[in-house]
Amino acid sequence: MTQEPRPDFGFVRVAAAVPRLEVANPDFNLRQILAIARRADEQGAQVVVFPELSLTSYTAGDLFHQHLLLDRAVESLLELTEASSGIHPLLVVGFPLAAEGNLFNVAAVVSGGELRGLVPKTYIPGYKEYYEERWFASARELVASEITLGGHQVPIGTDLLFRAQSGSEVVIGIEVCEDLWGPLPPSSFQVLHGAHLILNLSASNELVGKADYRRLLVAQQSARGICAYAYASCGVGESTQDVVFGGHAMVAEDGAMLAESRRFVPEGELLVADVDVEHLRLDRERTTSFGDSLHAFPPMAWRMVDVELPMHAGAPLRRPIDPAPFIPRDDEERNRRTEEIISIQTSALMKRLSHARIKHLVVGLSGGLDSTLALLIAVRAFDSLKLPRTAIVAETMPGFGTSDRTRGNAERLAKACGVTLETIDITEGCLRQFRDIGHDPSVHDVTYENVQARYRTMVLMNKANQLHALVLGTGDLSEIALGWNTFNGDHMSHYNVNAGVPKTLVRYLVGWVAAQPAFSSARSVLGDILDTPISPELVPGDQPGTVAQRTEEIIGPYELHDFFLYHFARWASRPRKIELLAQQAFGGHYDAGTIRKWLRVFVTRFFANQWKRSVMPDGPKVGSVALSPRGDWRQPSDADVALWLTDLD
């Protein structure tokens, strides 16, 4: 019985190697390159890129005119080619090539005992500490499209792309150091013609602040090209005379830095990361303007060289997998992003109030996270518009399952924020509704719960009419995704400031606001709200005023659902891939069975509740995932979920 090949889910394992090299010593350098290539092979790398002119060293100077060095460099390349038959990954190394009466700075692509192709450097620097024009010609001076090396014809040129024939079928483009610094890098044309992964063999010396610039340059090129970009620059062993090299290696993907090496490490560095080619393909498909630049230049002909890559090593993945993808990682970025998110919500609400010429707002305040965030945004908006906070009417509407804790927190929060507080007990109204429709109030089913939710919405809408006000929605993005809202109940409002904010981010935003000086009077109650279990509070507890329902016990942990939502909606990942990522992100916290159980719940509920999303109220888009039918998400309400559930079987 033939075993089904393991899916790679679009991942390609890339290594950027900074070996310990010696100036003008090809024999030593070859041994170091082979040693680090074997290390990369042991770590499951499928592609390894080395620094510029790595077989000779970049800093050989006028020794590049010595044919003893040039001949030995070619011999070393051929030895490397022969040795590659016992090394699985594709190897890309640099060497000087004498051809057609010129000397070219070349990247050589080697795998499986064969020399697959040569890509010469296009932009040759001749300024400041760089003297390359003294020795090397530009790729533009090359005439031939093939040369003979080791008795074999080898394709050469800047029109080469390397296409993997198995697994993710990644297409690889290559540029050399200064090529990236130019206003029109060769990689910009390579990505437009299909390259997903760009390899850069570099020799960038160290100056104060230069590493920061390189980092920005690599990340920005990966973002502009919607590609992965692996960069390897020569290390400290090549430092000589007035220049010092640090050995900077990076792997970036679509604007994000996946991995970065240490610098100034004498023994060299090996950086390994998994890039997601499936993500890149999706972003290019969605970004319909991506290929428009093709029409700004004359048509270009490209040659595809087929290469074989080893199978991806599989889990664990060598890439950061954030268990909380909606929350920024480091403190500085987190504070900046949080202020930006809240400013987006506040500005959106201010615009809606100003356009409607409305000076009053009605919000249902439950003492839970979502309504708390909505009230905090309303307060900021009214302060910015110089409207009195008392024009915000917070309605507490206790029902059959309302706990003393949440009701008390709602009252304390309204007082701390200086808004108008009204309490309308909905129990009598709901009992009257039960009598009208003939429902037994002792039966705590969905009818029992939804009557309460719809009654509360009716109160809010009627109160808004009375005050010529807007009803502010509170439901968050996670609830919208799962359909965890009552149609024509909490599903409805005049404007929903939380529509683009997932539950994990709601929690973080409330905590961030609690720490701000402007809300110091509300800090204590906000802390207690953060500590309160999430509950719809629609069913009475065993004792009056206690909680009977805990949302995350019913539908699953929000941290898992937000993770699933991000990878499903942002990256269109199939369930099996999401499961793999979740197992790595939450390993040790949730077992595989638990992750699969709640992933099935997420997929089922997401498909089943599109009809609610199709008629959801306006609300601001905050991040890269949004489910508004007028903006980012246009799913048929009657799409069949079977294919996605089968993927998990």
How many whole angstroms separate alpha carbon 522 and alpha carbon 406?
A: 15
Beta bridge partners of 164: 307
Closest among 187, 215, 184 to 200, alpha carbons compared: 187
Residue 190: in which H helix or E strand, if any?
helix 186-192
Q: Are 348 and 377 in contact (CB under 8 A)?
A: no
Catalytic residue, chosen from 22, 79, 82, 121, is: 121
CA dihedral of residues 308, 310, 314, 319 (deg, nearest 10): -70
Amino acid of residue 645: L
Token pair listed for 537: 């509070």
DSSP for 87-117, please give it: --SEEEEEEEEEETTEEEEEEEEEETTEEEE
Q: Residue 617 phi/psi, 5° resolution?
A: -70, 170
Amino acid of residue 480: I
Question: Residue 442: is it exposed, middle or buried by C-beta count within 10 angstroms (0-12/13-18/19+)?
Answer: exposed
How many whole angstroms separate alpha carbon 437 and alpha carbon 528?
A: 38
Assess whether 339 carries a catalytic annotation: no
Catalytic residue, chosen from 4, 22, 42, 52, is: 52
How many CB atoms neighbour CB 299 within 10 A?
6
List the strands of the sheet with 90-99, edge to edge.
114-120, 102-111, 90-99, 47-49, 11-18, 269-276
Token pair listed for 247: 């050995």
Assess whether 52 carries a catalytic annotation: yes
List for the chain the helix, strand, coil content (%; round to 5).
40, 20, 40
Residue 473: in which H helix or E strand, if any?
strand 470-473
Closest among 550, 552, 561, 554 to 586, alpha carbons compared: 561
Catalytic residue, chosen from 132, 177, 260, 577, is: 177
Amino acid of residue 14: V
> What is the three-class DSSP state of 37?
helix
DSSP 8-state code for residue 569: I
Enzyme catalytic residues: 52, 121, 177
